Structure 1
Amino acid sequence: TKCTQLDPTDIESMFNLGFIHLQLELPGDARYYFNQALEIQPINHRALYGRGYCFELLGDMPKAESDYRQALSYNPSHVGSREGISRVQRAK
């Protein structure tokens, strides 16, 4: 997209594109953008949560749980990651 062509290091654009693709029900494409965001900033809890949610939607529960737990390690109060862990554990 044009915003990432202008500045491929713009983490907010990568993050937002990830969530837009999730809303479009394209978790594989969304994961690409969350991966890009994490290359720029590996400790971004929002991108870890987003990628974890992609893994959850794609049925890869171990990777989803790992990303949710890593997101919580950077932001222990992140509710979405706590909820994600609960969903993944119920799915086991």
Structure 2
Amino acid sequence: MVAVGRGEDIAADARKLGAHRHIDANKENAADALNGMGGVKSILATTGNSAAIAALMPALAPAGRLVVLGVGKDPLPVSTGYLVGA
């Protein structure tokens, strides 16, 4: 499991919860880092930050799953290409 967050302060907590790696989205492009590991089959988003969730979509594999647990005020901008596997 790979955790993505903003700031190193949550890295230790992520590792305690089972993450093998923490990507600090303030320091690197998280989607690029995930794609460098082969992409992901699923994204479990616990933030209400729609822009942060949308930024991870390029790392999601075709037929992958996006599970959103946090709800924000802003709409989630998702390209229809991600929805049909293009």
**TM-score, normalised via structure 1 length:** 0.34
The structure with higher relative contact order (CA 8 Å, sep 6+) is 2
Q: Is the helix fraction higher in 1 or 2?
A: 1
Q: Is the strand fraction higher in 1 or 2?
A: 2
